[in-house]
Structure 1
Amino acid sequence: LLVKGIIVPFRSPKTAKLYKEIWNENGSPLLYYSRLQARMLQERLGDDYHVELAMRYQSPSIASALANLKAGLVESIQVIPMFPQYASASSGSVIQLVMELVSKWQTVPPISFVNSFHDNELMIKLFAENARKHGVENYDHVLFSFHGLPERQLLKCDHTGSYCLKNADCCQTLNDTNKFCYSAQGHDTARLIATELNLPKEKYTVCFQSRLGKEPWVQPYTTDVLKKLAAEGKKRLLVFSPAFVADCLETLYEITVEYHEEFRALGGEHVQLVESLNDSPVFIEALAGMVK
């Protein structure tokens, strides 16, 4: 069961218009690639497996996908939330809903979950390979821009109550205390991709986009980093968005259009998006490797 989440940034009444701007002949890129990924994984796994795609907040729903699996009399269910980094609002929400729905069944088959796959080797190599297509050496700086998250959600993952956000570099290294921290997993993903590309630490920055409301979100904000880099005279930026496994509004519009225009207005020249995993056979192989 592959579960996707559509994070709709209600930043203005123009959101629906923005979706239309990134749609192509296949409709929504996110839905198109999601369906394609499910179909490709089904072909890769063969008839011994039944692959279902579900969306957390849209159709096809998790309830309908589980109903299909139940009707198919499957022996076991494995749920893969398609969020590389764990967050209670994304992967955790999916896991919770699946458990709530299945708990109502009279007969519950064995169920397992993929908590996160932020350090999946094939995924890391694929992101790096996608970046090489643009010539990493031709850019002044590289950004790893993750979808933002309120700081309060990070704090909930710190069961000690004495580690999270207590110092500026608490997320820089993944350890037993912060191993389920969204920000720490994001930094680890960025570090692994940077290592694959031989990027020195001073060449890249981890940041967070799509902030909503006025409460503190995980920092630094991507918009602030753009201002800082422009002030330093940086002209060309290469931007990853490793929180997504398929291109969507946050990548195709927020980064490719909004951040590009904002950076140019600040004196920069170009913001180049590194494409997501989309329909790459390498990513399908990564998913197949997660299936037990």
Structure 2
Amino acid sequence: MGKKILLLGNLGSPNSPTTKDVRTYLDEFLMDERVIDIPYPIRYFLVKGIIVPFRAPQSAKKYKTIWTKEGSPLITITNQLADLVHQKTKMPVYVCMRYANPTPKFALDAIQREHPDAEEVIFLPLYPHYAMSSYETAVEHVKANHEQGKYLFKLSVIKPYYNDEKYIQALAESIRPYLKEKHDHILFSYHGIPVRHLEKTDPTKNHCAKCDNCCNVDSAAHAVCYRHQVKVTTELVAEQLGLNKDSFSFSFQSRLGSDKWLQPYTAAQLKTFPKNGIANLIVVSPAFVSDCLETLEEIQVEGKEEFEEAGGEHYIAVPCLNTNSLWIEAINHLIQKHLS
């Protein structure tokens, strides 16, 4: 077997929490045609003329609340993960981000320069579930950079692992210690996407959001259906933890715009739970494997405030897998399964 290199891909982060750098980051992120999938002229006008000028100062303030002396939590955690995966697998491990730095080109150039004998780069997107605005855009971006660079090594990609037994085990065991705390319910909060994204990625064009109970009806669409995959993750983790079916649910966060997005919405659930007798809540964010703005600020801070203002008493936000030893074992398992 030729020399294998592992490339971990994550979402990305501004270079700093300044409004200028956040604006640059949001420009790249929101101009991605797989994130805001509308015609380019309209997207350009909305993003650069309305959304980014309004959101950049607000987002910069939020980034400042989570920034550490090492920098962006997401970047720091991903780099730490790469070091630990290298120790476990003995493979050279590199990191790239879909947006901002380090770019795929930067990582692929470094691999070519530092490992001229590399035969294959294995790309592991740090997104367990398939969505065009996360997994798909990361994969296609790396593929495009690889093709344009005419590198000597081939590129292969690890498939979504939303139902992989080792990932499920790592996620379940990261939650288990918190079950000792007083709680009435566990909410699995996933990043939201517009419903139309499900319809666009559906290869059958007649299943997702088009038939009754579509997530439970077997279909080729499930291989690329975000809602089906988060449902499966939730149910598998709940089964491993021995949860009663009435003691957990899942929802979606981080909406943008007025189009129909996947429901129920996390923010709405947090405000409704106390009225329905759920005063003690545990929140988990399985779509994110590294803590970032969406978990550290949106879930841990804003979510807690919304829940308590609605009458909630006890709120626990479970950290992401980050550098959990079982997560590192899971990554090793994914690599070996991919190679076999």
**Which TM-score band (shorter chain)?**
over 0.9
Question: Judging changes above 3 Å, is the alpha-carbon distance between structure 1 residues 173 and 53 closer, same or farther for their aligned structure 2 residues?
Answer: farther
Counterparts of 1:283 and 1:188, CA distance in 2: 18
| Secondary structure of the corresponding residue to residue 34 of structure 1 | helix
Kept after mapping to 2: 8 A contact 1:141/1:236: yes
Shift of 1:272: 0.9
Q: Is residue 2:78 matched to residue 1:34?
A: yes
Counterparts of residues 58-207 of structure 1 (less than 5 Å): 58-71=100-113, 72-73=115-116, 74-106=118-150, 108-135=152-179, 138-167=182-211, 169-172=213-216, 175-207=219-251
> Residue 2 of structure 1 aligns with which residue?
8
Higher relative contact order (CA 8 A, sep 6+): 1
Shift of 1:174: 6.4
Q: Which amino acid aligns with 1:79?
A: F
The TM-score, its normalising length taken from structure 1, stands at 0.92
Q: Is residue 2:255 matched to residue 1:211?
A: yes
Structure 1, unmatched stretches of 5+, are none
> Residue 54 of structure 1 aligns with which residue?
96
Question: Judging changes above 3 Å, is the alpha-carbon distance between structure 1 residues 201 and 253 closer, same or farther for their aligned structure 2 residues?
Answer: same
Counterparts of 1:258 and 1:218, CA distance in 2: 20
> Residue 293 of structure 2 aligns with which residue?
249
Identity, % of aligned positions: 36
Counterparts of 2:123 and 2:180, CA distance in 1: 35
Kept after mapping to 2: 8 A contact 1:174/1:188: no
| Secondary structure of the corresponding residue to residue 123 of structure 2 | strand
> Across the two proteins, how many residue pairs are aligned to each other?
290
Kept after mapping to 2: 8 A contact 1:148/1:211: yes
Question: Judging changes above 3 Å, is the alpha-carbon distance between structure 1 residues 26 and 107 closer, same or farther for their aligned structure 2 residues?
Answer: closer
Question: Judging changes above 3 Å, is the alpha-carbon distance between structure 1 residues 32 and 123 closer, same or farther for their aligned structure 2 residues?
Answer: same
> Residue 3 of structure 2 aligns with which residue?
none
Counterparts of 1:256 and 1:171, CA distance in 2: 29
Residue deviations 1:70-117, cap 9 Å, x none? Answer: 222211111111101011221211221222222234454332101211
Residue deviations 1:48-74, cap 9 Å, x none? Answer: x32110011011111100111222221
The TM-score, its normalising length taken from structure 2, stands at 0.80
> Residue 261 of structure 1 aligns with which residue?
305
Counterparts of 1:29 and 1:190, CA distance in 2: 25
RMSD: 2.0
| Secondary structure of the corresponding residue to residue 237 of structure 2 | helix
Higher helix proportion (structure 1 or 2): 2
Question: Judging changes above 3 Å, is the alpha-carbon distance between structure 1 residues 6 and 105 closer, same or farther for their aligned structure 2 residues?
Answer: closer
Counterparts of 2:212 and 2:269, CA distance in 1: 16
Structure 2, unmatched stretches of 5+, are 1-6, 14-25, 31-51
Counterparts of residues 268-287 of structure 1 (less than 5 Å): 268-287=312-331
Residue deviations 1:249-270, cap 9 Å, x none? Answer: 1111111111111111111112
